[in-house]
Each structure stands twice: as C-alpha cells, then as structure tokens.
Amino acid sequence: MSADRLPSQAARPPAVEAAYVTPAALDALLRAGRSLMGEIRFGLAAGDPAAPHPQAQVGMAQLNDPPLIEAWLSRQPVSYHRAGRIRFARNDEVLFGCIALADVAPAGFEQVVRGCYAEILPFLDAQGYPQLMRMWNYFPAINAALDDLDRYQCFCRGRFEALQDYYAGQFDQRLPAASAVGSHDGDLVIYFIAAKTPGRHCENPRQMSAYHYPPQYGPRSPSFARATLKRLDNSAHLYISGTASIVGHESLHLGDPRAQLEETLENIRALIERVERDDRLAFGGLDGLTHLKVYIRYPEHLALIQPRLDALFGPQVARLYLAADICRAELLMEVEAIARTP
C-alpha cells in the first residue's frame, strides 16, 4: 500500500468533523444539510436550551474577532439522547457526548471528576461506542491550591482512579487524546468523541508519556495519550492532545512566549512525523493540520503568537484563540490540533 492511501472502501459521508464558525455560518451549514452533533460556546451566551443536541458554555474569553462556536458536525443522520447526566448525539460510527456541572465545590472536586468518568466509561460500553478517541476537560481555578495539591493534580487523581478501575489491565492501551485546561469561571465541562471501532493511541518521541510522569507532578500522572489516530470516511484523522513547551517531562523556555510556541510546534511536528512513519500515512507534516485551538494564559501574548501562526498556516487552518489557564503555572500556552490526510 502506498504511503498516502487507505484501504479501499466505498466513499461515505464524514461521520464527524469539527468547525470553528460564527453563529451565522453554523446556521448556513445546518441549512445545507449538516447535522449538529455538539456545540461548545466559549465566552458566549448560551444557545437554545430547548435544542436537542449536546451543548455547553465554557468560561473562557475568546480572542477571535468575530467570536466563534466550536461545532461538531456530521453528514450522516444523527439522533439525540440523554442518559443520566450525559447528553449525547450518535450516528452509525461515532458518538459525541457532554457533561456540564455547575457549582462544583472545591472540597468535593476530585470526587466529582471521578464520578463523571465512572459514569462515562460504562455508558459508552452500553451504547456500543466503547472506543474513546478524544476528551476535553475544562474547569475554573486549575492552578489553585487544594490542601497540598493544586486543582489540576486533584483532577488528575480523580480521572486516573476512574480509568484505572474501569480499564484494569488495559490502562495504558485505552487512554485517548485529551486536553485539560483552566477556565476563568463557570461549569466543569467534559465532552468527548467515541467510536464503535478502535483507533490507535499515539505517543510523542520528544516527550515522556504523560501517564509515566515522575511524582513531582502529582500523586497520579495525567491519564491521556498524546494523540489518537482514527480512520473515518476515506481519510485518517489525527486528534492531537493539548501540547505545550515540554520536552521529556520538563517545561522549557520559562517566561518566553515566542520560544514556548516554537517548542510546542516542534512537538506537534515530531508527533505527526512519527505517526506518518509508523502508519505509512502522508499528512504532510504540519501541512496536514486542519484545526488549531490555542490557549493563551496572558491575552497580551496574542500579538506575539498570532502573527507566527498566520504566517505558517494562512487561512487553510481554522484557529480558535482562547484566554485560559494552563495546567502548569509556568506554561504560557497550550495548543491542540487536528490533522487529516488528503
């Protein structure tokens, strides 16, 4: 098989695709026949509460002008449902789900996180979509102290314990791509994409696997893969986790947003190139990127970051810029991405 071809299969409409769009553009896509699987609004007013699809608000100010909605769309028929606290949409291949919880008390935060994951994992098995591809986790005060840990470390312990309990001996093999980022106010929001059939969870040759981090980063390591590769429709999709200026397990370029951005891009490039070699795929390196979500700790750094990304990617890569706190206090930004083969 050549490096840029997937196994022969009949063409079928995409099961799920991301879009960073204005409300008007989203309406146009829906009128054109797309189905809305999920809608995440960053710093925007809530959508229609009576709408059947999963939706959530995240307390992060947008740095885009005009502001955009993160929409997950399908060109296949979609149905909408609710199970416990989970609102979800599904088609024949993938499921998009969301939990949004308001007023989570700091003292009970870790237990709430563990409870959310303990609800999501058996739910996916029961629905017949057991393969997690991508997860997002947003919550306020990510760097705030809670007893002898910070809130991110408490989150990591709650998530780890639920995943460890459910996946048992398959823990390392089942962890999906993920992001965990600090909002400035609002709910605990967890949303995710899962599939009926497995993808491949991928690691980065420049970085220690997060789930093997040493104990200096907390009593339980972050439980995620650096990316998940999934073959959907007639192409390969690479969902890249939140990525920062970390090599090995150490944060680099403290206080220098430009250098942190370059190190982050090099990490993303190395990950894509490893997947290309291992899976005989041709993303084209960074040219295969279709979406970037850029979290920036200090909004004034946008002027240092955006011109570099504009020059590198031009208009062909959708970008969403958000004012957010990063899991380590010394990190000034984090970037997540989606790449796709032609």
Provide the pLDDT confidence category of residue 10 given band limits of 50, 70 and 90.
Answer: very low
Contact 133, 195 (CB under 8 A): yes
Residue 310 pLDDT exceeds 90: yes
HEC letters along 96-131:
EEEEEECCCCHHHHHHHHHHHHHHHHHHHHHHCCCE
What one-letter code names the amino acid at 8? Answer: S
Residue 18 pLDDT exceeds 80: yes
Percent of the chain having pLDDT more than 70?
Answer: 96
Least confident of 43-52, 72-81, 197-206, 244-253: 43-52
Percent of the chain having pLDDT more than 90?
Answer: 92
d(CA 215, CA 212): 9
The pLDDT of residue 272 is 98
The pLDDT of residue 234 is 84
CATH architecture assigned to 17-340:
2-Layer Sandwich (3.30)
- CB atoms under 10 Å from CB of 69, counted, come to 21
d(CA 90, CA 94): 6
Least confident of 3-12, 66-75, 98-107, 236-245: 3-12
pTM of the model: 0.95
- CB atoms under 10 Å from CB of 44, counted, come to 14
Q: Which residue has the tokens 């769009």?
A: 21
User: Residue 24 phi/psi, 5° resolution?
Assistant: -65, -40
The pLDDT of residue 67 is 96
Contact 76, 35 (CB under 8 A): yes
d(CA 206, CA 178): 18
Task: Check residue 248 and report its DSSP letter.
Answer: B
d(CA 124, CA 189): 18
Q: What is the pLDDT of residues 255-284, one digit of tens each?
A: 999 999 999 999 999 999 999 999 999 999
Measured in whole angstroms, how far is the alpha carbon of residue 94 from the centre of its chain?
A: 16
Round the average pLDDT of the chain to a whole number and report it. Answer: 95
324 is written with which tokens? 């957010």
Rounded to 5 degrees, what angle do the CA atoms 335, 278, 7 make?
A: 105
d(CA 69, CA 249): 33
User: Residue 262 phi/psi, 5° resolution?
Assistant: -65, -40
Helix (H) or strand (E) holding 31: helix 23-31
Measured in whole angstroms, how far is the alpha carbon of residue 279 from the centre of its chain?
A: 22
Q: Characterize the bridge pairing of strands 131-140 and 188-195.
A: antiparallel
Domain ranges of the chain: 17-340
Beta bridge partners of 73: 17, 36
